[in-house]
A and B are shown apart, each in its own frame.
Chain A
Amino acid sequence: MEITTVLWREFIFFKRRFFKITASALINPLLYLIAFGWGLGRDIQIEGATYMHFVIPGIIALTTMNTSFSAISTRINISKIHEKSFEFYLTSPVNMYLLTMGHVIAGALRGMYAAFLILIISCVFGIHIRINLAFILICFLNSFLFAAFGYGAALSIDSHYDMSRFTVYIMTPMSFLCGTFFSLDSLPFWAKTFINILPLTHASVSLRNIVINGQFNHTSIIILLIYSIAFYFFGAAMSYREMK
C-alpha cells in the first residue's frame, strides 16, 4: 500500500514535469556521445569493439546511477528540509520499510527512464545496442542501489548544503573511475582491486560485456544485489533518524 501510494505520488510529479525531466535527462548523454563519439571518432577500437559500443554501456551505467541518486535525493531533501512534508510520513501509521521501498523504486524507475532515453539517442546516432533481460536487470539493480543510497544520504543530513559532500566525494569520483569511459586493464593492480569493489564498476563492465560479447560475469549481479540490499537497509534505518 505504501509502495503504490508513493509511486502514485511520484508519477504525478513526473507527469507534471515530463518535458523538463526528459529534456534535462537528454542533455548529458547527448554531450557524451558528441564528445566521445564524434569527437574521438568512430574508428577507434577498444577491447575489440568500436569506441561507441564501448562507451555507451558505460554512459548508461553512469546515467542510471546519477539520475536515480539525484532524482530521489533532491525529492527527499526538498520534502524533508524545505516542505517538511516528510514529517507527515513520520506521523502517519506507515510501515517505514515499505515507504522506503516505494521511494527507492520510484527513484530507480527514473534511472531506468534515463537509460531508455540513451538507447533511443544511440539509435538516432545509428548505433545499434544489443540488450537482453540481463541488461535490463543490471540497469535496474544499478538504479535501485543508487536510489537507495540517495534516499539514505538525503535523510542523513540536516542541511541541503551538506548534500554536495556526497556528490563531490562519492558520486563524481565513481563516475570517472569505474570503467565508464576507459578500460580498466591498464590500471595498476591495487587501483583495479579497489575499483572492483565499487558497484558502478560491476554495472558498467557487465553492461559492456553484454553489448560487446553477449555474455558477462554473473557474480556482478550478486554484488549489485548485495549493495542494493545494504543500501536499502541503510535508507530504511535513516528514516528512523530524529528529524531536527
Chain B
Amino acid sequence: MDLIEIVNVTKKFDNFTAVNNVNLKIKKGEFLGLLGPNGAGKTTIIKMLTGLLKPTEGEIYIDGRKMSRNNVEIKKRIGIVPQYTNLDKELTVYENLVFAAKLFRINKKQYSIKIKELLEFMELEEYKNRQVFKLSGGMQRRLMIAKALINEPDIIFLDEPTNGVDLNGRRRIWDIFKVMKTVGKTVIMTTHYIEEADYLCSMVCLINEGKIFKNDTPDNLKREQGRYTIEYFDNQNGQMVTKYRHFKSKEEALNHVPKIKNFHYTVRETTLEDVFYNLTSRKVV
C-alpha cells in the first residue's frame, strides 16, 4: 500500500502557482529524492506534507488519513529537517533536544538515553552544553538532524539535510540515512547534491516550475540517458565548453572516441547528475 498519497495538489501564493497539480504516491520504505532547481517547489511540497501549509487544491493522505495541522497521530510519527535552521538559539544543544523530547511527550528516562545516543551519533557530545547561536553552521545542521530523530519517526522529511556540512560529516550523515533505509523507514529528501540522491535514493522525482516531470528509479533514469558518458572540452562558437555525450554501452562510447578531435576527454559511467543536468538544462532552454 502507498504510505503517502499526493492527489492533484496545487499550491498558490496569491496569484503565483508554486506547486502545480502534483500527483505522487510514495510506498512505505521508499527513499525518495525530490530534485529540482531553485524555486521548483520542493520545500513547498514538503511543507504541505508536514501540515505547515495547506494545499490550495487537492489532498494529501498519509497512511490513509488526511494530513493537516491537527493530525496529531501522524505528527507523532514524522521527523523533519527543514531547509532553514529551526533551532532555539538561546538554548544549549542538550536543552534543544530535551525541549523537542518534551514536546513529543517522551519521558525523562527514555529521552536521556535517546539524547545520549543521538549526541554520540552526530558527534555533538563535546558541544552539548554550548548555546546554539555559538555553533557553526554545520554543527547546527547536525543538531537539526538529531532533533528530527528524537521521536524515532518512521516517516522522515529531509529538506537539504546536508547543506553546509563538511565531507566527513556528510559521509557520517549518509550512514545514518542508510541505516534508516535498511530498517524500512520512509524518507523524502530534497537536495542539490545530486550525487547524494544517487547514493541514497530508491526513487527520484524531478521537479521544475511546480510540476513533476520525471519519477523513476535512478537506475532507470541513467539507462534511459545512456549508461556511458564521454565528457570532453570543445570549441563552440569560439568559446571553450564542456560537452557530454551519452551512449548505451561502453563499446559505443569507445567507438565514438576517435571522432573527438579535442584535448581532453573522459569516458565514464553516466551519473544521476548527468541525467539531471540534461533534463533541467533542456527544460530551461
Contacts and interface: CB of A to CB of B under 8 A. Distances in A.
Interface in B34-58: 50-54
Interface stretch (B20-28, B71-79, B116-124, B192-200): B71-79
Interface string A80-93: 00011101111111
A84 B78 contact: no
A8 B102 contact: yes
A12 B92 CA distance: 10
A85 B104 contact: no
Given A1-B105, A84-B85, A16 B53 contact: no
Contact of A88 (B90, B95, B100): B100
Q: Is the interface of A mostly helix, strand, loop or mixed?
A: helix
Contact of A87 (B73, B82, B89, B104): B82
Contact of B86 (A1, A13, A85): A85
Given A91-B51, A93-B72, A242-B54, A9 B82 contact: no
A90 B90 contact: no
A92 B87 contact: no
Contacts of A12: 90-91, 95
A85 B105 contact: no
Contacts of A92: 75, 100, 103-104
A79 B72 CA distance: 22
Nearest to B76: A93
A99 B69 CA distance: 14
Given A1-B105, A5-B103, A12-B90, A91 B85 contact: no
A16 B90 contact: yes
B145 to A, nearest CB: 13
B52 A89 contact: no
A90 B76 contact: no
A90 B102 CA distance: 14
Nearest to B82: A87
A13 B131 CA distance: 11
B213 interface: no
Contacts, number: 68
A197 interface: no
- Give the bracket for the number of chain A residues in contact with chain B: 20 to 34
Contacts of A5: 99, 102-103
A95 B75 CA distance: 12
Contacts of B272: none
Contacts of B50: 91
Interface string A222-244: 00000000000000000010111
Given A91-B50, A94-B103, A84 B86 contact: yes
Interface in B249-268: none
B102 A1 contact: yes
Nearest to A82: B89
Nearest to A78: B89
A237 B249 CA distance: 61
A91 B80 contact: yes
Nearest to A17: B90
Contacts of A89: 103
Interface in A87-109: 87-95
Interface of B: 13, 50-54, 69, 72-73, 75-76, 78, 80, 82, 84-91, 95, 99-100, 102-105, 147
Given A85-B88, A91-B78, A242-B53, 14 more contacts: A1-B102, A1-B105, A5-B102, A13-B90, A79-B88, A83-B87, A84-B86, A88-B86, A88-B103, A90-B52, A91-B50, A91-B75, A92-B103, A244-B13
Interface of A: 1-2, 5, 8-9, 12-13, 16, 79, 83-85, 87-95, 240, 242-244
10 closest residue pairs by CB, A with B: A5-B102, A93-B75, A93-B72, A92-B103, A84-B86, A93-B76, A85-B88, A88-B86, A87-B86, A91-B50
